[in-house]
Each structure stands twice: as C-alpha cells, then as structure tokens.
C-alpha cells in the first residue's frame, strides 16, 4: 500500500504521442495510455497529466513541447517519430527547443533496446532541458517504452541494465523541479546521499 499522496510533491507531466495515423483517427493511439500507466505505477507523487496526440510535423511538435513546458510540466515524455523515415522528425523538433542537450539518455535507450533488436541503432531518441523541464523522446511501442524506462531485470527482480528513469528524478532536482519519488519495485531512482530528502512524518 502506498503512502498518502499528501507526503509527496504534486507534479505536472506532459505526455505526447506523435503519429500521423493515430492523430487522424486511422488507428487507436496506444502511446499515451502506455505512458500514463507506467508513470502512475512508477511514481508516488500525485500526477496531473497534460496529454497531446499530434501528427509528425516538426513545427507542431516543437510548439507542443514549448506549450507543455510553459504550462509547468517538469517532465515531458514523447513517443513516436524517432526513426530514420522521412516523416520522423521528433528529435529535430525536440532539439529545436532545447537549452541543453542530455545525450546520455539517448545512448542508454539504444543500449537497452539493442538487447532486444539489432535495429535499435536506427533510433534517434534525444533528451533535452528547456527552462526547468526535462524532455525525453521515447520509442513508439508500449512494450519498448516500459523496457526503456525500467531497464532489464532478471526473474527475481534484480536489475541487469538500468532504465533511464532511474536518473530522471535527480536530473529534475538539478534543474529546479519538484522532488520525484519512485516506487522501488517499478524503478528505483538514484540520487547521491546528499540529495536524498529525509522521509517526512505521516
């Protein structure tokens, strides 16, 4: 049973699914539900989601990211549009609004995905900081989203390869965002001891 949410900072998180066909109603979008489900399971914090389902248009993607940052989202996760196809422009749209690039996230995402498919080297996910928000491009498939965020675990739950979300809370700390608290059974966040907040009394 989780602790009362009053003990944890409320957070606003932007989730963006980028797909020409899903945004036009050709098929049902699965990216937004996958992101919302994983984040709800992973975080103790009470979350307000700002969601967007938009086509693969670079200017529109950049505008949505800026809008979500301006709306106070400390974290913005995108899914879709990161391959080499002509319509895949999510990384370009993300870099266009960046104040700082965070290349380690993309490097680790590809390392995780390479454990499953050799075509992971075709993915171009990036992560950036804009103002006090962290923006991360994730893969398009719900299963790959969870694997990338959580990393790889053995049957007994022992971590084999760390997921990228383990580093997200401390990154958000460093850019002046709220204190994100993860559920260890889903994804154990790492912070230096000096950055760990003392447990508040109930």
Between CA 37 and CA 14, with CA 119 as vertex, the angle to 5 degrees is: 30
Domains in the chain: boundaries: 5-195
The neighbour count for residue 142, using CB atoms within 10 Å, is 16
What pLDDT is attached to residue 200? 54
Q: What pLDDT band is residue 3 in, cutting at 50, 70 and 90?
A: very low
Contact by Cβ (8 Å): 184, 199: no
pLDDT of 2 higher than 60 = no
Of 78, 91, 88, nearest to 35 by C-alpha is 78
pTM for the predicted model, two decimal places: 0.93
Q: Write down the mean pLDDT value for the chain.
A: 92
CATH hierarchy code of domain 5-195: 3.40.980.10
Which range is least confidently modeled, 3-12, 106-115, 178-187? Answer: 3-12
For the sheet with 133-138, list strands across it: 47-54, 11-18, 75-79, 133-138, 127-130, 100-101
Residue in this structure with the two tokens 């797909």, named with its chain if needed: 19
Provide CB contacts within 8 A for 43, sequence distance 6+.
Answer: 11, 180, 181, 182, 183
**Average pLDDT of the segment spanning 163-171:** 97
* Sequence-ordered list of residues with C-beta below 8 angstroms from that of 196, at least 6 positions apart, any chain: none
- Whether the CA torsion 147, 167, 88, 40 is positive or negative: it is positive
Residue % of the chain over a pLDDT of 90: 82
For residue 1, pLDDT over 50 is answered with: no
Nearest CA to 48 out of 78, 5, 11, 17 is that of: 11
More confident residue, 27 or 95: 95
As beta bridge partners, residue 77 has 15, 136
The pLDDT of residue 155:
79
Q: What is the DSSP letter of 43?
A: B
Q: Quote the tokens at residue 72.
A: 């106070």
Residues 62-119: tens digit of each pLDDT: 999 999 999 999 999 999 999 999 999 999 999 999 999 999 999 999 999 999 899 9
Task: Tell me which range, 28-32, 49-53, 143-147, is most confidently predicted by mean pLDDT.
Answer: 49-53
């Amino acid at each position: 049973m989780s602790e009362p949410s009053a003990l944890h900072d409320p957070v606003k998180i932007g989730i963006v699914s980028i797909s020409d066909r899903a945004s036009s109603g050709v098929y049902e979008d699965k990216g937004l539900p996958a992101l919302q489900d994983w984040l709800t399971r992973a975080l103790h914090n009470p979350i307000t989601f700002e969601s967007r389902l938009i086509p693969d248009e670079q200017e529109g993607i950049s505008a949505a990211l800026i809008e979500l940052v301006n709306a106070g989202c400390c974290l913005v996760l995108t899914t879709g549009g990161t391959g080499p196809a002509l319509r895949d422009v999510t990384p370009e749209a993300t870099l266009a609004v960046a104040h700082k690039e965070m290349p380690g996230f993309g490097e680790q995402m590809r390392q995780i995905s390479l454990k499953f498919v050799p075509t992971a080297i075709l993915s171009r996910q990036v992560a950036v900081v804009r103002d006090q928000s962290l923006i991360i491009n994730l893969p398009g498939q719900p299963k790959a989203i969870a694997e990338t965020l959580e990393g790889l675990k053995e049957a007994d739950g022992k971590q084999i390869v760390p997921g990228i979300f383990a580093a997200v809370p401390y990154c958000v700390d460093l850019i002046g965002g709220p204190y994100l608290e993860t559920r260890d059974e889903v994804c154990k966040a790492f912070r230096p001891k000096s950055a760990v907040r003392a447990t508040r009394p109930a």
